[in-house]
Amino acid sequence: MSNSSGVRLVVNGRTDIGQVRDENEDSIRWRADPNHPFAYVVIADGMGGYSGGALASRITVDTLSQSFDRLLTPTFLACTPDQQNLMIHASLRSTIKQANQSIIDAKLENPQFAHMGTTLVLALIWQSQITIAHIGDSRAYLWSLGGIAPLTKDHSVVQEMIDAGSLTEEQARVSEVRNHITRAMGVAEDVEPVIRTMNLNANSVVLLCSDGLSEYFDDAALEQVLATHRPVSECCSRFIAEANELGGKDNISVGLIEFSMAVQPQSHFPGSIPASDGEDTTIRQGRFHR
């Protein structure tokens, strides 16, 4: 969707049960505003057994998408860019807290769902800024002519081992504990997302996915698909088809936002604003196996 700001956003998303699971515990929502340079994708990968994981992920994406759909009020539109950025961050934090509490409340009402929870990854673009938030091991990437770059770092046991130097990324891909995450929605009263905001100053594609895709695609394989398939919006179907061909052991969710500008600045790769919240002040919530 193009608009007077010169920003054009195309959004697409898809989720698939895969080849092995009996139920799809992933949930996804996406939307581009028809009148403003605004778009988002939200993906949640549920855990906790039959129906529980699906409920947790659905609560999360429903709560966040409803909040995003109410964001562009006259008050918001009248604010300065800095004020708008603060409002987006405040809305994200309060809504994630609300969704987290809703999952906990649902667990109290349904004891059979006592172990449910979910990951979360989201991307929200307003004008030429993107805000990313995540909890768990669902991921976000940014692809442009400069290549592909991860925008998130997994909250997982294997990522901690990689950071400590006791495991390589290649070993992590086949580790028996690669599905053990260290942070999740719906597990504790306090949940701390990692949030970052960046300027987009070149034609780019934002890719979000659950681990049903990253199980099979390393960065180079993701970049190969994004660089060679057009239109980019159809890459969701391509990714899911290839993940299923490779085994489809888990549910697979993919969301894409294609960002383009009418006038290109000189720089050709997105630059970052230091706005990473929560990474150093995390309260660990234990380890969970999905």
State residue 263's pLDDT score: 60
Residue 237, token pair as written in the block: 């179907």
User: Average pLDDT for residues 257-264, to the nearest whole number?
Assistant: 83
Provide the β-strand partners of residue 45: 26
Q: What radius of gyration, in Å, describes the C-alpha atoms of the chain?
A: 18
Give tens-digit pLDDT for 144-165.
Answer: 989 999 999 999 888 888 788 8
Query: For residue 4, what pLDDT band results from cuts at 50, 70 and 90?
Result: low
Give tens-digit pLDDT for 22-72.
Answer: 999 999 999 999 999 999 999 999 998 767 999 999 999 999 999 999 999
Query: For residue 167, what pLDDT band results from cuts at 50, 70 and 90?
Result: confident
Indicate whether 207 pLDDT > 50. yes
**pTM score, two decimals?**
0.88
Indicate whether 266 pLDDT > 50. no
Q: Are 195 and 132 spatial neighbours (Cβ–Cβ below 8 Å)? A: yes
Give tens-digit pLDDT for 93-144.
Answer: 999 999 999 999 999 999 999 999 999 999 999 999 999 999 999 999 999 9
Indicate whether 287 pLDDT > 50. no
Of the candidates 5, 12, 50, 26, the residue with the CA atom closest to the CA atom of residue 212: 26
13/29 Cα distance (integer angstroms): 7
Indicate whether 289 pLDDT > 80. no
Give tens-digit pLDDT for 175-206.
Answer: 667 678 999 999 999 999 999 999 998 899 99
State residue 280's pLDDT score: 28
Query: For residue 1, what pLDDT band results from cuts at 50, 70 and 90?
Result: low
State residue 241's pLDDT score: 97
State residue 169's pLDDT score: 75
Distances (CA, A) of 3 to 7, 9, 72, 267: 6, 9, 15, 22
State residue 283's pLDDT score: 25
Domains and CATH numbers, the chain: 7-283 (3.60.40.10)
Q: Tell me the pairing of strands 129-135 and 139-144.
A: unpaired
